[in-house]
Chain A
Amino acid sequence: MATPLMAARAGVSGPDIDGFRTVQRLAYDCAEAVAAQLRPGVTERQAAAMMRRWLADRGVHDWLHLPFAWFGDRTAFTGFKVPHQFFPTGRRLTEGMPFILDAAPIYQGYTADIGYTSSLGPNRVLDHLLDDLAVHRALIVEAVRAGRTLRQIYLDVDELMARQGYENRHRAYPFGVIAHRVGKISDGTVRPHAFGFGSRALLGLLQDGVRGHREGWSPLWNPRKSSDHPATPGLWAVEPHLGFRGVGAKFEELLVVQEDGDAYWLDDTLPHLRRWAGRGISGSLATGSAPDADPPGETAARAVVATAEAIAKEAV
């Protein structure tokens, strides 16, 4: 592998990992608590405000971005053309409607970025999507371990989605990212945010971007040439987002990439993992062995997708 990548600042050490885990759990607790309070008639703006208040009450004062909430077909970003459409609207929740809560709090200098998908009452389509996300989670970590470039992994995920019959909806995100790096933010007294994004966290991302540009890597994970390198050590907030006939589903959680190229999901006790466990779906590829180190492009993709599919079959 290209050496400059190893030089990329991991920016995290052992105790830091615990800090990230704490804030990620806090954010998911928030999403679960707010989701439990959602009733028919609640608007996206109200749900986003509930999350913000819940986290602020527990000591969160800075954000990578302010909480988002998407209801109904907005979970699949239907008709999204301009970025302002991501912001919460007056859309009201009704029975059976899917929703996504997305929050990125910064707590004691550690950033989390989470996405929580559920529905108000049963929704068969959403259940199916959520089940099928498990295999994406497994595929991503396995492919990172195998040393595949981020661009290749993005395309692997695309292929898997196409086979599953779903649309790739993370391409709607700014820069079409499936993931982005997060890091430590030094504590400051001034915490300005503009257009819903915390400026200090964005600054960190920007610094990473400048540095990466010089060294040949990118803190944004998308299908562009700039992402054609293996994952850089550090933390990545990964958010594969499936869309299917007006229903969207995603999870978003932190992936830890180590200096030696190994990778693991920061936390295996998150709500979607508990949900999969409850439904007998294995959300991890820990049992499968990694494909041979660095086989030529297509075979590797096939191997990874095949492993992922085998797992998916086993699970479903």
Chain B
Amino acid sequence: MTSLYDLPGARRFEVASTDGVRLACVEAGNPAGPTVLLLHGYPDTKEVWADVAARLADRYRIVAYDVRGAGESSRPDATSAYALHRLTDDFEHVLDAVAPDGRVHLVGHDWGSVQSWEFVTTRRTAERVASFTTVSGPSLDHLALVTREGLARPTPKRLSRNVEQLFRSWYVYALHMPVVPELAWRGVLGKHWPAMMARSEKTLGPPEPSLPEDAAFGAKLYRANVRHRMAAPRHDAIAEMPVQLVVPDRDKFLAKRLYDELDRFAPHLTRRQVSGGHWVPRTRPDLMARWIGEFVDQVEQHGTAKPATAAATLASKGRKARRDEANRRRFAGQLAVITGAGSGIGRATALSLAEAGARLVLVDRDAASAERTVDLAQVLGAAEAYAETVDVSDAEAMEQLAAKVRATHGVPDLVVNNAGIGIAGSFLDTSPEEWKRTLDVNLWGVIHGCRLFGAMMVERGQGGHIVNTASAAAFQPSKGLPAYSTSKAAVLMLSECLRAEFASHGIGVTAICPGFVATGITGATRFVGTSAEKERSLREKTTKAYKRRGYGPEKVADAILRAVAENTAVQPVTPEAHAAYAASRFTPRVLRALARVDLPK
């Protein structure tokens, strides 16, 4: 772990604030770039931003300071010295020192974000903030107003939200006890906290030596503000600048639903959803730096956050619009590698991710169709899209692909091992060559993808997700599809094992089991034990039947994106796949009987 002081051009300086407090500040990075001011939370110091700052330093001027009571800044004894208006004074003094004329892009985490809400809604400081990125730190005023509404005009939704947050805020009540928190932090808790963090949040790196004192003094932040603001919230706390809200989906201390009405208080709101816990600046620095950088760039360029894309405005209201918004929150700026992206489910997944603004590496055996998907993805608003021509069964080519992706685009956040081929016909008709080819593509292709990209994800230590396309044939035996079903069952089990292994690294693994979906696979399926003529007619018939079934790959893409967002282990897609999945668990005999049925010829 690097320190902020190790960044290129780092300069330490102190700023004198009111009531004699001295604030330890650091400035680093590209002095010509826009100024990004990073504000830490409780019980951290500015070093919580070190990993993110390291990724932003080459393009932005980074400023960070220790909030009073933390790190190298002074620690006033009086609780009243930690009131929000004092913190606003501090912020103003730092602004005077680092950006006397210009504006800064403010980024706050936890209590850094709570106090930032005060800065961006207080006139003397708000006009000096160009944009605000808030991570895991709601405004106390908004929290109070929303909670009161839940009590004054209760609905089941509002009540359950209030109750959820009531429980998640246990630590706030604890910090209001006199003396006990200080004793705990200076004693047992301070000693074991770093280990607890490393275990539960997977944060990396050694703790700050000042932790016990930071945490003990920081308790005064809560005592000086929470009760007062909850009792008398400001009604005019509206943030007029573009605001980017980053919501971790496993935050132990904050309910996700808390932010559902935030656009009332921040009209120019962009919402992002990240897979991770409360300390995402520590655990997901790549993604955080990307989102902060993109947001700052947009505001610098357009003076506002990017308007919704053409495709987005076309979306009719209702379920589709909500789904698109959810995808944008989750996948914007993420790097996805998709194999078999030239057609069918791969292409549909690529396009859904493109609509969400992801960065795409699209792999297919057929160069032209991969290029075509890239074209379409760009039209739909992909942040970036590149085509790669690789046969997934070729271990060497896959290794080259992985190395190239890492070198040019970085470690992927999402890998969809989708490439597969169809083969039908009885076991005795299937030759060893046909077995080999099927397993090479359907199983080895997935193994290569998981092995190479999985290793990268583990090494990076910032989570990620792998999706493997299995099939309903993975749990529905059939005498007509022995080779295909075997390869897909292997993919299903591989995914389950991998999921167990990668869970401790925060990497999710999902097996998708589509069912009968109208894609190009039927037109290219090998029907063993038939003449060329017969094979062609079987292909035509199957394709026609699948078309009549009418289940498009777009719906599978939706299911994939939803499964990634929810980290589902096994995701059957079509109703028949759901039925087969249920039957495989509760009444396997039914499936065995079905397995004996002749496929229509």
Residues of chain A touching chain B, judged by Cβ–Cβ distance below 8 Å, are: 72-73, 94-98, 122-125, 128, 162-165, 167, 244-247
Known: A162-B520, A165-B347, A245-B351. A128 touches B310 (CB 8 A): no
15 new A-B contacts at CB < 8 Å, known A163-B369, A245-B380: A96-B314, A97-B313, A97-B314, A123-B310, A125-B310, A125-B314, A125-B379, A128-B375, A128-B379, A164-B372, A165-B373, A245-B311, A245-B355, A246-B320, A247-B314
Whether a CB of chain A sits under 8 angstroms from the CB of B376 is: yes
Complex: A84 Cα to B379 Cα, angstroms: 32
Interface residue ranges of B290-338 to A (CB < 8 Å): 310-311, 313-316, 320
Contacting B313 at CB < 8 Å: which of A96, A163, A244?
A: A96
Complex: A73 Cα to B313 Cα, angstroms: 11
A72:B316 contact, CB within 8 angstroms: yes
A163:B314 contact, CB within 8 angstroms: no
Contacting B310 at CB < 8 Å: which of A73, A124, A165?
A: A124
Q: Mark B374-386, 1 if CB is under 8 A from A, else 0.
A: 0110011000000
Complex: A94 Cα to B311 Cα, angstroms: 13
A95:B313 contact, CB within 8 angstroms: yes
Instruction: With CB as the reference atom, state the residue of chain B lying closest to A162.
Output: B520
Complex: A164 Cα to B373 Cα, angstroms: 8
Complex: A187 Cα to B54 Cα, angstroms: 80
Complex: A153 Cα to B137 Cα, angstroms: 61
A73:B376 contact, CB within 8 angstroms: no
The secondary-structure label for the interface of chain B is helix
Instruction: With CB as the reference atom, state the residue of chain A lying closest to B313.
Output: A96
Complex: A98 Cα to B316 Cα, angstroms: 13
How near does chain B come to A73, taking the closest CB pair, in angstroms? 6
How near does chain B come to A121, taking the closest CB pair, in angstroms? 9
Number of A-B contacts (CB under 8 A): 48
Complex: A96 Cα to B150 Cα, angstroms: 39
B372:A163 contact, CB within 8 angstroms: yes
Which residues of A have CB within 8 Å of B552?
167
Residues of chain B touching chain A, judged by Cβ–Cβ distance below 8 Å, are: 310-311, 313-316, 320, 343, 347, 351, 355, 369, 372-373, 375-376, 379-380, 520, 552, 554
Which residues of A have CB within 8 Å of B375?
128
A124:B379 contact, CB within 8 angstroms: yes
Which residues of A have CB within 8 Å of B373?
165
How near does chain A come to B344, taking the closest CB pair, in angstroms? 10
Complex: A120 Cα to B183 Cα, angstroms: 67
Which residues of A have CB within 8 Å of B343?
162
How near does chain B come to A150, taking the closest CB pair, in angstroms? 18
Complex: A27 Cα to B369 Cα, angstroms: 37
Complex: A163 Cα to B552 Cα, angstroms: 15
Complex: A246 Cα to B552 Cα, angstroms: 14
A128:B376 contact, CB within 8 angstroms: yes
Which residues of A have CB within 8 Å of B311?
125, 245-246
Residue with the greatest number of chain A CB neighbours at <10 A, chosen from B314, B320, B369, B373: B314
Which 8 A/B pairs are nearest by Cβ-Cβ distance? A128-B379, A165-B376, A124-B379, A96-B310, A123-B310, A96-B313, A125-B379, A124-B310
Which residues of B have CB within 8 Å of A247?
314
Which residues of A have CB within 8 Å of B372?
163-165
A72:B376 contact, CB within 8 angstroms: no
Instruction: With CB as the reference atom, state the residue of chain A lying closest to B320.
Output: A246
Which residues of B have CB within 8 Å of A246?
311, 314-316, 320
Which residues of B have CB within 8 Å of A124?
310, 379
How near does chain B come to A129, taking the closest CB pair, in angstroms? 9
Complex: A123 Cα to B309 Cα, angstroms: 10
Which residues of A have CB within 8 Å of B520?
162
How near does chain B come to A123, taking the closest CB pair, in angstroms? 5
Which residues of A have CB within 8 Å of B369?
163
Which residues of B have CB within 8 Å of A244?
376
15 contacts across the A-B interface (CB closer than 8 A)? A72-B314, A95-B313, A98-B314, A123-B314, A125-B311, A125-B314, A125-B379, A162-B343, A165-B372, A165-B373, A165-B376, A245-B351, A245-B554, A246-B316, A247-B314
Which residues of B have CB within 8 Å of A128?
375-376, 379
Residue with the greatest number of chain B CB neighbours at <10 A, chosen from A95, A122, A163, A167: A163
Complex: A163 Cα to B370 Cα, angstroms: 10
How near does chain A come to B380, taking the closest CB pair, in angstroms? 7
Residue with the greatest number of chain A CB neighbours at <10 A, chosen from B310, B369, B520, B554: B310
Complex: A316 Cα to B347 Cα, angstroms: 20
How near does chain A come to B267, taking the closest CB pair, in angstroms? 20
Complex: A247 Cα to B355 Cα, angstroms: 14
Complex: A125 Cα to B351 Cα, angstroms: 12
Complex: A123 Cα to B552 Cα, angstroms: 25
Instruction: With CB as the reference atom, state the residue of chain A lying closest to B366.
Output: A163
Which residues of B have CB within 8 Å of A98?
314
Instruction: With CB as the reference atom, state the residue of chain B lying closest to A167.
Output: B552
Which residues of B have CB within 8 Å of A162?
343, 520
How near does chain B come to A234, taking the closest CB pair, in angstroms? 30
Which residues of B have CB within 8 Å of A167?
552
A94:B347 contact, CB within 8 angstroms: no
Complex: A244 Cα to B314 Cα, angstroms: 12
Which residues of B have CB within 8 Å of A122?
310
Which residues of A have CB within 8 Å of B347?
165
Instruction: With CB as the reference atom, state the residue of chain A lying closest to B312.
Output: A96
Which residues of B have CB within 8 Å of A94?
313
How near does chain A come to B440, taking the closest CB pair, in angstroms? 25
Complex: A162 Cα to B375 Cα, angstroms: 14
